[in-house]
Amino acid sequence: MGFLIIGLIIVIVVSLFTIDGKAKKITEQNEEIINILKKINESKK
């Protein structure tokens, strides 16, 4: 679970910097990061 929490913190921090026009691109990157973290989490079980 620690990995997922770290990932969420990263996503939140990154999304705080997305008040620019880059928000959509960074949101897509966040989704990729979340998917990667989910895969890591599932493979640890």
Q: Which residue has the higher pLDDT, 3 or 26?
A: 3
CA distance 41 to 45: 7
Encoded amino acid at 8, one letter: L
CA distance 15 to 31: 12
Does residue 14 register a pLDDT over 80?
no
Does residue 43 register a pLDDT over 80?
yes
What is the pTM for the complete model shown? Answer: 0.42
Domain that holds residue 24: 2-44
Encoded amino acid at 2, one letter: G
Encoded amino acid at 23, one letter: A
The percent of residues in the chain predicted with pLDDT above 70, rounded, is: 76
Mean pLDDT of the chain: 78
Tokens 């599932």 correspond to: 42
**pLDDT value of residue 9:** 84
Number of domains, the chain: 1
